[in-house]
Amino acid sequence: MIDLGRNYMCGITGYTGINQAGPILLEGLRRLEYRGYDSAGIAIQSESKKDEAGENGGDNTSCTLKMLKATGKVSHLADKFEAEPDFKGVCGIGHTRWATHGVPSDTNAHPHLSADGKFAVVHNGIIENFADIRAELQKYGIEFKSETDTEVIVQLLAYNYKGNFKKALMKTIARLTGSYAIGVISDEHPGTIFAAKQASPLIIGIGIGENYFASDITALVSNTKNVIDLDDGEVAEITPDEVKVFDHTGKEIDKEIRHINWDIASAEKSGYEHFMMKEIMEQPHALKATIEPRVKDETIVFDEIKGLDMKKFNRVHITACGSAYHAGCVGRAIIESLCKIQVEAEVASELRYRDPVMDEKTLVIVISQSGETADTIAAMKECKYKGATVLAIVNVVGSSIAKLADYCIYTWAGPEIAVATTKGYTTQVALLAMFAVWAAGELKTISHGAYTSMVIDIMHLPERAQRALDLNTKVKKMADKYYDNQSLFFIGRNMDYAVALEGSLKLKEISYLHSEAYAAGELKHGTIALIEPGRLVVALCCYEKLFEKTVSNIQQVKARGAEVLAVAHEGNRSIFQEADDVLLVPQTDPLLVPVIEIIPLQLFAYYVAKKNGCDIDKPKNLAKSVTVE
Ligand code: M6R
């Protein structure tokens, strides 16, 4: 599996120099707000005091570590800072947290302090073996305060510390598996920050008599444009006058200083013009974050739903809104196919008022990126009232839906800022597929061979998503050709139809063009009357079992003058005889096709909207989180 890391959750920053660290750290955190977060915090080394014994690794002074944390906005943290005139120091670290392990709270917010108060850490990433390390340290009597995976880093560091900061840190990170970008300060080493990186981003900013680190350029760009990119496995020792970088063996290495010329706005979007494009491009990373921690030895492991007994249910009901509902339509097909259980999918705004027939033998799956959608919450309450068990698939940790559900699986897609969901949708579908395979294993409705083959295909999704992005560099050309069609159709059968629903919604919500998704075989029952010369029909042709059938529908619309843009698998030669234009995606298991097939359609919607001059990230009349009925 390709190593894509998880580079979007949380933001970290650090400063050491001659100026007060507090305001600089807060400004850095404000710049990182765009990444999405639910709490924030800073730690500083407060005024130095003389270390008479001179015992501290060569330094003859020490200091006290002070922390401030706040749930919610960085502005809350800034208010707390203003109220603490003694919160002074010239070296510190800061963090915006997007919860993954443990709800958003002051206790779970970073920085985390070691039990002896000697070290403070900020961390972006996920420590996969945190439970083992935590259990081990607890045996030595070390008490943990938070529910986070991060706290093990700082407790282990304090445990390993015998006077040499660098040695203790190297020993600590050698134990960690997963991803991390960390910044650490100690009360015994005034002015020194250590930073380390593995599969999460971290850059060092070079100033004059002051140096910085951060998750990305945004937090640094107003202070310096000279940066060092830390690579995986490397450790940096940052002091006001010097930055030393070491490889994983501890040997000092030379690093190049890079000059950047981005302004703040382009830095926030990692150089992309819009968050939507950034999030489309993040999908391989997001899928990896969703999938990888839940696969062990080709087996799907959901620690989150231990105790969920699939044998108790005689049917499954999926409910959600918008794109999440479209993900549910895909989920219905996968669960039915693998688990041989009756599954329905229904929009939450209908289900909530329908008096549905369900009882304690019904499993309801609710899907929501934000976890705050009013209709979805109301529908799930109705289902719970009727005795159903509710399993939520949610992106935002600690959201209302996550809390109300009996069980919750997080997609871990990272914050999604653009109103039009992209990585939110693909990670929902991937998780539904994983759930279906897991449930089929529990119900024994899948053979060992089919189970393993599905798991392998699921694990390949991140690199196939990357391939779909790489293959579709010409989508912009297609958008330039078709952008002024005022009304168009998306057609497909089975899985392709489910993707048509999402492709059509993507286009209409950001480009304001009228578009409809149709089950390809249904066109001739009325809608074909609307097909006329020049009308664009986007034909989804990846569900190969029904390819020939979809081809006849293509021929029917072409006979009436339509232009056809097809999406098909790489290697499908015959589609070029049928369609005017073709977008290709890599092969995958038929049940997983939607994760990959939607990608060129997201790009198509993006470029059509751009060509039409639309406000892509904030389309008119829409909100990211629909908390009203
Ligand atoms: O946060 P949710 O997933 O519950 O939101 C559901 C819909 O409002 C959402 O998917 C909406 O359709 C998106 N704008 C689609 O891109």
What does the pLDDT look like over 560-574, one tens digit per residue? 999 999 999 999 999
Residues recorded for the chain: 629
Q: CA dist 101 to 36, 69, 588, Å?
A: 16, 17, 32
Q: Is the peptide bond before 190 cis (omega within 30 degrees of 0)?
A: no
CATH number at residue 138: 3.60.20.10
Q: Which residue has the tokens 């005091």?
A: 49
Residue 195 domain flag: yes
SS3 397: coil
In this structure, the residue with its CA closest to atom 4 of ligand 1 is: 368
Mean pLDDT confidence for 468-495: 94
Which of 319, 326, 369, 622 maximizes ligand 1 atoms within 8 Å of its Cβ, making it the mutation to test the pocket?
369
Which of 228, 258, 288 terminates a domain? The answer is 258
193 and 63 in contact (C-beta within 8 Å)?
A: no
Q: Are residues 247 and 355 in the same domain?
A: no
Ligand 1 atom at shortest distance from the alpha carbon of 373? 4
Q: What is the pLDDT of residues 500-541, one digit of tens each?
A: 999 999 999 999 999 999 999 998 898 888 898 999 999 999
Interatomic CA distance for residues 268 and 283, integer angstroms: 18
Distance of CA 553 to the CA centre of its chain: 37
Q: Are residues 353 and 441 in the same domain?
A: yes
- Return the DSSP state at 375: H
Q: Are residues 536 and 440 in the same domain?
A: no
**Which backbone phi and psi does 49 adopt, to 5 degrees?**
-125, 155
Q: What is the pLDDT of residues 103-117, one digit of tens each?
A: 888 899 999 999 999
In this structure, the residue with its CA closest to atom 9 of ligand 1 is: 322
The pLDDT, as a whole number, for residue 216 is 82
Pocket lining for ligand 1, CB < 6 angstroms: 321-324, 368-370, 373, 376, 419-421, 509, 622, 625-626
Q: Are residues 494 and 377 in the same domain?
A: no
502 and 531 in contact (C-beta within 8 Å)?
A: no
Instruction: Tell me the catalytic residues.
Output: 10, 624
Residue 274 domain flag: no
The mean pLDDT value of the chain amounts to: 92
- Return the DSSP state at 80: H
- What stretch of H or E contains 371? none
The pLDDT, as a whole number, for residue 5 is 36
SS3 394: strand
Is pLDDT at 206 greater than 90 in this prediction? yes
Closest CA to 8 of 417, 324, 293: 417
Domains held by the chain: number: 3
Ligand 1 atom at shortest distance from the alpha carbon of 425? 10
Mean pLDDT confidence for 14-33: 95
Q: Are residues 357 and 474 in the same domain?
A: no
258 and 228 in contact (C-beta within 8 Å)?
A: yes
In this structure, the residue with its CA closest to atom 7 of ligand 1 is: 322
In this structure, the residue with its CA closest to atom 14 of ligand 1 is: 420
Q: How confident is the model at residue 61 (pLDDT cuts 50, 70, 90)?
A: low
Q: What is the pLDDT of residues 277-295, one digit of tens each?
A: 999 999 999 999 999 999 9
Which of 402, 433, 459 terminates a domain? The answer is 459
Is pLDDT at 366 greater than 80 in this prediction? yes
3-state secondary structure 418-452: CCCCCHHHHHHHHHHHHHHHHHHHHHCCCCHHHHH
The region of weakest confidence among 9-18, 464-473, 490-499 is 9-18
Q: Are residues 95 and 143 in the same domain?
A: yes
Is pLDDT at 228 greater than 50 in this prediction? yes
Q: What is the pLDDT of residues 158-171, one digit of tens each?
A: 999 999 999 999 99
Tell me the CA–centroid distance for residue 399 and ligand 1, in Å: 15
Q: Cα 329–335–338 angle (5° rounding)?
A: 140
Q: Are residues 409 and 533 in the same domain?
A: no
The pLDDT, as a whole number, for residue 62 is 72
Q: Are residues 453 and 484 in the same domain?
A: no
Name residue 613's amino acid: G
Q: Are residues 361 and 395 in the same domain?
A: yes
Residue 280 domain flag: no
CATH number at residue 400: 3.40.50.10490
In this structure, the residue with its CA closest to atom 12 of ligand 1 is: 322
Residue 548 domain flag: yes
Which of 223, 258, 293 terminates a domain? The answer is 258
The pLDDT, as a whole number, for residue 446 is 97
Region of 534 on the Ramachandran plot (φ > 0 left; ψ -120 to 50 alpha; else beta): left
The pLDDT, as a whole number, for residue 49 is 53
Domain extent, residue 236, equals 12-258
The pLDDT, as a whole number, for residue 398 is 74
Q: Are residues 121 and 24 in the same domain?
A: yes
Q: Are residues 20 and 98 in the same domain?
A: yes
Residue 287 domain flag: no
Is pLDDT at 6 greater than 50 in this prediction? no
Is pLDDT at 94 greater than 90 in this prediction? yes
34 and 417 in contact (C-beta within 8 Å)?
A: yes
In the β-sheet with 581-585, what is the strand arrangement from edge to edge? 514-519, 487-492, 536-540, 563-569, 581-585
Which of 373, 411, 505, 606 maximizes ligand 1 atoms within 8 Å of its Cβ, making it the mutation to test the pocket?
373
Which of 319, 367, 370 maximizes ligand 1 atoms within 8 Å of its Cβ, making it the mutation to test the pocket?
370
Closest CA to 339 of 378, 365, 357: 365
Mean pLDDT confidence for 22-35: 90
Q: Are residues 91 and 130 in the same domain?
A: yes
Is pLDDT at 54 greater than 60 in this prediction? no
pTM of the model: 0.76
